[in-house]
Chains A and B, each alone.
Chain A
Amino acid sequence: MKKPTIAQLQIAGVTKRFGGLTAVDDFSLSIQTGQLHGLIGPNGAGKTTCFNLLTGVYAPDSGSIQLNGKRLNGRRASAITAAGIARTFQNIRLFKDLSVLDNVRVACHLRSRHTLLGALIRSPMHYRDEKQIRLHAMHLLDRFGLAARMDETADNLSYGDQRRLEIARALATDPSILLLDEPAAGMNPNEKSALKGLIQQVLNDFPIAILLIEHDMNVVMDLCQQITVLDYGQIIATGPPEEIQKNEKVIEAYLGAPAHSVEEVVKHDLQQEA
Chain B
Amino acid sequence: MKIALGMILPPLLVIAIALGIHAGVGNYDNGYWINQLTVIGIAIIMAVSLNIVNGFTGQFSIGHAGFLSIGGYFAGAILYYGSIRLFDTPPVAGILSFTLPFERFSEGAAWFTTGDLFFIAVCIGSGLLAAIVGFVVGLPSLRLRGDYLAIVTVGFGEIVRVLIESSNPVVKGRSLSKTPQAIRDANFHDLATGLGEASGFNFIPKYGSLFWVYLFVGLTVLVALRLKYSTHGRAYLSIREDEIAAEAMGIRSTRYKVQAFMIAAFFAGIAGALTASSQGTIFASELAFMKSLEFVVIIVLGGLGSVSGAVIAAIVLTYLPELLQAETFQRYRLIIYSLILILVMILRPRGLLGTRELWDLFRRKKGLAR
Give the nearest-CB partner of B369 in chain A.
Answer: A153
A107 touches B368 (CB 8 A): no
Residue from B226, B233, B355 within 8 A of A97 (CB atoms): B355
Residue from B227, B248, B251, B368 within 8 A of A98 (CB atoms): B368
For B369, what are the chain A residues with a Cβ–Cβ distance below 8 Å?
Answer: 99, 151, 153
Q: Does A152 contact B (CB under 8 A)?
A: yes
Binary per-residue interface labels of chain A (82-123) against chain B in the complex, 1 for a CB within 8 Å, 0 otherwise: 100011010001111111001001111110101010011111
B238 touches A98 (CB 8 A): yes
B242 touches A95 (CB 8 A): yes
Question: Which residues of B does A touch, CB under 8 Å?
Answer: 3, 6-7, 223, 226-227, 230-235, 237-238, 241-242, 244-253, 259, 354-355, 365-370
Provide the main secondary structure of the chain B interface.
Answer: helix
For A114, what are the chain B residues with a Cβ–Cβ distance below 8 Å?
Answer: 231
8 A-B pairs in the complex with CB atoms less than 8 angstroms apart: A98-B238, A106-B249, A108-B231, A109-B234, A109-B235, A112-B231, A120-B227, A151-B366
A39 CB to closest chain B CB (Å) equals 18
CA gap between A107 and B231 in the complex, in Å: 10
Q: Does A47 contact B (CB under 8 A)?
A: no
A184 CB to closest chain B CB (Å) equals 20
Q: Does A61 contact B (CB under 8 A)?
A: no
A105 touches B234 (CB 8 A): yes
User: Top 8 closest A-B pairs, CB basis?
Assistant: A95-B241, A77-B247, A81-B250, A119-B230, A93-B245, A107-B249, A112-B231, A122-B7
Given known contacts A122-B7, A124-B3, A153-B369, A78 and B252 CB-to-CB distance under 8 angstroms:
yes
B230 touches A77 (CB 8 A): no
CA gap between A86 and B245 in the complex, in Å: 10
CA gap between A172 and B242 in the complex, in Å: 17
A153 touches B230 (CB 8 A): no
Given known contacts A109-B249, A152-B365, A77 and B237 CB-to-CB distance under 8 angstroms:
no
CA gap between A86 and B223 in the complex, in Å: 32
B311 CB to closest chain A CB (Å) equals 18
Q: Does A130 contact B (CB under 8 A)?
A: yes
B3 touches A127 (CB 8 A): yes
A153 touches B248 (CB 8 A): no
For B365, what are the chain A residues with a Cβ–Cβ distance below 8 Å?
Answer: 151-152
Residue from A78, A93, A106, A151 within 8 A of B367 (CB atoms): A151
B219 CB to closest chain A CB (Å) equals 10
Residue from B250, B259, B354, B366 within 8 A of A173 (CB atoms): B250
Q: Does A126 contact B (CB under 8 A)?
A: yes
CA gap between A86 and B248 in the complex, in Å: 7
- Per the CB 8 Å criterion, the residue count for chain A at the interface is 47
CA gap between A127 and B226 in the complex, in Å: 12
A121 touches B231 (CB 8 A): no
A130 touches B244 (CB 8 A): no
Give the nearest-CB partner of A106 in chain B.
Answer: B238
Given known contacts A95-B241, A97-B368, A122-B6, A77 and B231 CB-to-CB distance under 8 angstroms:
no
For A102, what are the chain B residues with a Cβ–Cβ distance below 8 Å?
Answer: 234, 237, 367-368
A116 touches B244 (CB 8 A): no
A87 CB to closest chain B CB (Å) equals 6
Give the nearest-CB partner of A56 in chain B.
Answer: B247
Q: Does A161 contact B (CB under 8 A)?
A: no
A67 CB to closest chain B CB (Å) equals 14
Residue from A106, A109, A127, A152 within 8 A of B6 (CB atoms): A127
A121 touches B7 (CB 8 A): yes
B223 touches A120 (CB 8 A): yes
A98 touches B237 (CB 8 A): yes
CA gap between A124 and B233 in the complex, in Å: 17
A81 touches B249 (CB 8 A): yes
CA gap between A172 and B245 in the complex, in Å: 13
Q: Does A8 contact B (CB under 8 A)?
A: no
B231 touches A109 (CB 8 A): yes
CA gap between A105 and B234 in the complex, in Å: 8
A247 CB to closest chain B CB (Å) equals 33
Q: Does A133 contact B (CB under 8 A)?
A: yes
For B230, what are the chain A residues with a Cβ–Cβ distance below 8 Å?
Answer: 119, 126, 130
CA gap between A114 and B232 in the complex, in Å: 9
Give the nearest-CB partner of A92 in chain B.
Answer: B245
Give the nearest-CB partner of A155 in chain B.
Answer: B370
For A169, what are the chain B residues with a Cβ–Cβ distance below 8 Å?
Answer: 249
Residue from A95, A97, A105 within 8 A of B245 (CB atoms): A95
Kindly name the residue among A82, A120, A170, A172 whose own CB sees the greatest number of chain B CB atoms within 10 A. Answer: A120
A78 touches B250 (CB 8 A): yes
A94 touches B245 (CB 8 A): yes
